Structure 1
């Protein structure tokens, strides 16, 4: 990190067609905010950039559905999201929007810079047009029968059932999702970005130059490149959007995927109009994008190619994308209202935003999908935030108030040779070593974007503090050795102060509570030392008056959890996308009954995939090398249309271990991976909610 003079940190521009939910927060915004807080605590020069993504067909359709103009529609959701971010404490330097004039100007300049190099491809082709609505249809707004599997609700760019990539012209019986009518083909002219011309450069820059990126990011990028890149249209026939800045392009706007990432640049211009270029063009600036996995291709392949084409921009040094967050075992769904909306959470749990920050970080989907449950939320708040962190701080404050009238006791060397004092000194040295080790590990994890583990190490400071109090028992010494009590509580207050410093990237409200309680004038100096030296520092001054003790956190009531669960129980049944709200796919009927003895013969175990590759001459099979706890075995699984080989490496799987080996395509398969099949035919891995040792049995 030291080789960079400054940092440009971006968080994915949320689409202005609905409110924010916890999946958005866990995916991009909370990890970005945590990292930015960490950089600032180290004294780094940072700009933290975000804003609303406000263009595209989905905006015009959403506005039409609500009976308002696109401007009124995006205004509504821009302000809703901006306020939710502010209320939650996400500390953007600027939260802009792509409908601002500075963005129009920047995006058009960007287009012109590439256009003037004759890089774009201009092409006229037939595209589907909805005559009733008077609009050309983007690929996602055309559905029809998949020519590969017969799914009647395949999209114009992909069949969600079999995973086949499609073009709208391949669909059988295509229809518009806007009007339901059959669209007609109509010629239209557009400009295409020649992504294929950047393929060799991308391989050198990304595949060879960024092997240190997260495996889920690197794997998806490599998979895209291995499939071969094609030119991508960067314009659309729409009235709402940024006009293509050419005299013969009336009615054409920039396609949203081209326009949106330029929003990072325009927002920086808005924030720093006089020196924005040093955050985007100086090689000594580190550019990092925080996104969800659905945006990996745009930020790792398309946007870098655009920046390269423009010629003088820096490229992302890292893109620590997260996987998806599920809710109570199901996908978060905006259309079904199966979500925890951020603005509603803040109303239901006022003054308790640290709780959501802590829980979401503790289950952060850093390399694989994670699941948020309200019971887990309650358990983590009660048993960790309240019982470990809050309890330790409160015990130290109350004991100091009781024995030293609320003033910091003197630091003592504890001379003497009696066993009791020797034990206290030994406990002190053990705690000090353990605390410093936890601080170093926390800092190392933050540098590597491992926020879940970093927060665990932060909480370890409180665990070590509780153990130190339990080992030394100052309340038992108060009648006979106040020097020892003073030494113990002086050090305990030092631990509290260092916890307050360690909390700042993760639990800013908790950190503020500790600062109030300690009432120390050393915090500002101590903060810089703590984060730069990555070791314990002095935070309290002998004899200084402490503030008033306060309970940092409180337990979550069962009634609060029941209220949230009742809200989710009102979520409507799942309908297949594109099939209309009334259509609900039926669950498959049960298979014939079997005897328990038949089931008991199955040896079902958990394994970990250590290697994976696609089988040649097969569209369906992946060849997986699985650590089964006893060794390694090869299992062939027909999941290639649902998971890439890169996605499978490092994942835990459930498999039948005692299935007779079976040869397929010349390779012996030594087991069967168990999968869950959705009503729409999508296969999903069956995995434990927490990692277990390979070879663990399922019973």
Structure 2
């Protein structure tokens, strides 16, 4: 009997119009640009290899890029998604010192950790590589020498901080101190993590060596600078053209414009380090390339490690569109430094078409902090037992596209229970269970004229058009909101037509068409949620006994009469509200609030003290109030 059911389900695939509509093989065939097709090259910011990525890192780059990559492929575009770990630089040396290992050992360890985290989140790279490869050295040095030969590199002597305690020049990240802008006490020599401003080590107040805490001294050292000032006119022309065609995200354009407005200056691209790409000049053999010059070239070298035909992607500007995803702190390196490096070689590099940048995702009103055990990091999400698709949904619904957003456990649980479960899950489960119970799993013959089909189809087509417009313009959060409108429209369709046992008994012809149309809407829904919720999409098509399909332009009836569907299964489970406090306690949400409260109390106390001191000075130098409240005459303070 069981074999008969299996045969019937298999045979029913003849009643599905969609036949192997989309391929999902990450390894074969090799993806290369094709003539007369939309060739899309997608990168997400290379995650730095010295720590475990937190939720803000994930939504800001790899998850957002994954959604666009899946969407592009599900629309039939020829797309390649490249990423990998950024492994050179001072931060790696620093972390290796802290852990008592070599930089290579540290990179090997964290490369695996990163890949495991992204695999769990269903981030589907075509190639996830790393920057510590021979091809990285070869390509980075090729670009360096192209700039050198064309006169866009210059030598300057610069004053650096030197640590006499351990006898070495300190790269920017080996220097810590107080930020001159926001007074954050643990700012790095290249950037302040609190206010986000780029710095140089000499701007720091009370600088100290990160290795031993001693006070460094200034000394001279020769370095190579990229002549951004010479490249600015050509760069500005390219930026205008790229933004006009690619419609950059607003903050990406604003940050870039602010750099141009200030005027570009030569930027040092070498460092006194051992861990990095060697500078290909004999007189600089003891120095390496600065990681932020080197890192963006990692996209190219990782592609080269994916295919020997990598130049078809990276030196093909007329036939390839490059989309790059990152947090806003990475913008200048992708819109100024890397493009300038490409332009300066005078070679036909594939250059940025669209940049998609995010603001910051905050955790329960504060910052993620691994050292203080505050926030959810990539490996923590799995510990909760909540499936990856729920995490993907929440992060993408909270994607900080125009302003910072806040991760909240209460909102996380609410969205699962009231949106995924009550909206999407309810629609799919309701119709599949009904067909299981009342139609022996089989789509009946039907007559569309029995219901008002035209108006329904138009409403669904409108939603699909809005969805494709949002995703095509890389408005990812809007696209997901629109996808959820489709499942809401499905629930409304069942409600409008009063689909239940009474309808089946009293108006069987109407019940038949409602069932058929609703199942086909579920099929379309599986396609539009696929970029966001790949496991959910797979779960839906398994229940429908149909293949994964491309994302359509309009609604169509592709599951035909006689098609046998599978058994209903719950797509989502309810999360107990009690988990809010459990998870907040475990992952430091309450600790963050206590720290914030203590910090605020400390600041208020300091502020009152300063105001009291200021008032005394005003009384002494600006004149005290008279008895009737009018200002008195100022009396100069006399020296005693």
TM-score of the superposed pair, with normalisation by structure 2 = 0.83
Matching residue within 228, 231, 252 for 2:263: 228
Matching residue within 440, 454, 463 for 1:405: 440
Q: Distance in 2 between matches of 1:314 and 1:387?
A: 45
Matching residue within 496, 500, 507 for 2:526: 500
Q: Is the 8 A contact 2:150 2:345 kept in 1?
A: no
Q: Which residue of 1 aligns with 2:498?
A: 473
Partner-residue secondary structure (3-state), 1:55: coil
- Pair 1:207–1:411, CA change in 2 (3 A): same
Matching residue within 402, 419, 425 for 1:367: 402
Q: Which residue of 2 aligns with 1:112?
A: 145
Partner-residue secondary structure (3-state), 1:332: coil
How much has 1:148 moved relative to structure 2? 7.9
Q: Which residue of 1 aligns with 2:364?
A: 328
The Cα offsets for residues 386-434 of structure 1, whole Å up to 9 and x where unpaired, read as 011111111101111222111111122455xxxxxxxxx23x4433221
Q: Which residue of 2 aligns with 1:462?
A: 487
Q: Is the 8 A contact 2:466 2:482 kept in 1?
A: yes
How much has 1:584 moved relative to structure 2? 11
Matching residue within 355, 371, 378 for 1:342: 378
- Pair 1:285–1:166, CA change in 2 (3 A): closer
Partner-residue secondary structure (3-state), 1:586: helix
Matching residue within 461, 473, 483 for 1:436: 461
Q: Distance in 2 between matches of 1:442 and 1:25?
A: 23
Q: Which residue of 2 aligns with 1:568?
A: 587
Q: Distance in 1 between matches of 2:337 and 2:319?
A: 23
How much has 1:154 moved relative to structure 2? 6.0
How much has 1:561 moved relative to structure 2? 3.1
The structure that is strand-richer by fraction is 1
Partner-residue secondary structure (3-state), 2:223: strand
- Pair 1:191–1:486, CA change in 2 (3 A): same
Q: Is the 8 A contact 1:431 1:465 kept in 2?
A: no
Q: Is the 8 A contact 1:338 1:571 kept in 2?
A: no
Q: Is the 8 A contact 2:303 2:310 kept in 1?
A: no
Partner-residue secondary structure (3-state), 2:284: coil
Are 1:25 and 2:50 matched, yes or no?
A: no
Matching residue within 467, 482, 489 for 2:508: 482
Q: Which sections of structure 2, spanning at least 5 residues, go unmatched? A: 1-33, 609-640
- Pair 1:486–1:158, CA change in 2 (3 A): closer
Q: Which residue of 2 aligns with 1:587?
A: 603
The Cα offsets for residues 445-466 of structure 1, whole Å up to 9 and x where unpaired, read as 0011111111111111110111
The Cα offsets for residues 361-384 of structure 1, whole Å up to 9 and x where unpaired, read as 111111111111111010001001
How much has 1:569 moved relative to structure 2? 3.2
How much has 1:237 moved relative to structure 2? 0.8
Q: Is the 8 A contact 2:163 2:217 kept in 1?
A: yes
Are 1:36 and 2:69 matched, yes or no?
A: yes
- Pair 1:151–1:53, CA change in 2 (3 A): closer
- Pair 1:390–1:72, CA change in 2 (3 A): same
Q: Which residue of 2 aligns with 1:314?
A: 350
Q: Distance in 2 between matches of 1:105 and 1:568?
A: 43
- Pair 1:341–1:485, CA change in 2 (3 A): same
Q: Is the 8 A contact 2:519 2:559 kept in 1?
A: yes
**Residues 146-295 of structure 1: pairs in structure 2 closer than 5 A:** 156=189, 167-171=200-204, 173-207=206-240, 209-211=242-244, 212-295=247-330
Q: Is the 8 A contact 1:12 1:289 kept in 2?
A: yes
Q: Distance in 2 between matches of 1:14 and 1:157?
A: 17
The Cα offsets for residues 156-213 of structure 1, whole Å up to 9 and x where unpaired, read as 4567889987543455543323322111223222111011111222222214652532
Q: Is the 8 A contact 1:474 1:484 kept in 2?
A: no
Count of aligned positions: 569
Partner-residue secondary structure (3-state), 2:444: coil
- Pair 1:390–1:165, CA change in 2 (3 A): closer
- Pair 1:458–1:179, CA change in 2 (3 A): same
Are 1:79 and 2:112 matched, yes or no?
A: yes
- Pair 1:70–1:478, CA change in 2 (3 A): same
How much has 1:4 moved relative to structure 2? 6.1
Q: Is the 8 A contact 1:193 1:231 kept in 2?
A: yes
How much has 1:61 moved relative to structure 2? 1.0
Q: Distance in 2 between matches of 1:548 and 1:148?
A: 61
Partner-residue secondary structure (3-state), 1:122: strand
Q: Is the 8 A contact 1:128 1:186 kept in 2?
A: yes
How much has 1:537 moved relative to structure 2? 2.0
The Cα offsets for residues 323-358 of structure 1, whole Å up to 9 and x where unpaired, read as 1111111122233232211222123226x1110111
The Cα offsets for residues 127-162 of structure 1, whole Å up to 9 and x where unpaired, read as 111122333223343345677898876654567889
Q: Distance in 1 between matches of 2:529 and 2:252?
A: 29
Are 1:99 and 2:125 matched, yes or no?
A: no
Flag the structure with more relative contact order, 1 or 2, with Cα contacts below 8 A and sequence separation at least 6: 2
Q: Is the 8 A contact 2:373 2:588 kept in 1?
A: no
Q: Distance in 2 between matches of 1:261 and 1:487?
A: 54
Q: Distance in 1 between matches of 2:399 and 2:178?
A: 37
Q: Is the 8 A contact 2:163 2:216 kept in 1?
A: yes
Q: Which sections of structure 1, spanning at least 5 residues, go unmatched? A: 416-424, 577-582, 593-699
Q: Which residue of 2 aligns with 1:628?
A: none
Q: Distance in 2 between matches of 1:78 and 1:437?
A: 44
Q: Is the 8 A contact 1:135 1:238 kept in 2?
A: no
Q: Which residue of 1 aligns with 2:23?
A: none
Matching residue within 403, 416, 422 for 1:387: 422
- Pair 1:570–1:34, CA change in 2 (3 A): closer
The structure that is helix-richer by fraction is 2
Q: Distance in 1 between matches of 2:334 and 2:406?
A: 25
How much has 1:543 moved relative to structure 2? 1.2
Q: Is the 8 A contact 2:179 2:192 kept in 1?
A: yes
Q: Is the 8 A contact 1:113 1:310 kept in 2?
A: yes
Q: Is the 8 A contact 1:122 1:190 kept in 2?
A: yes
How much has 1:315 moved relative to structure 2? 1.3
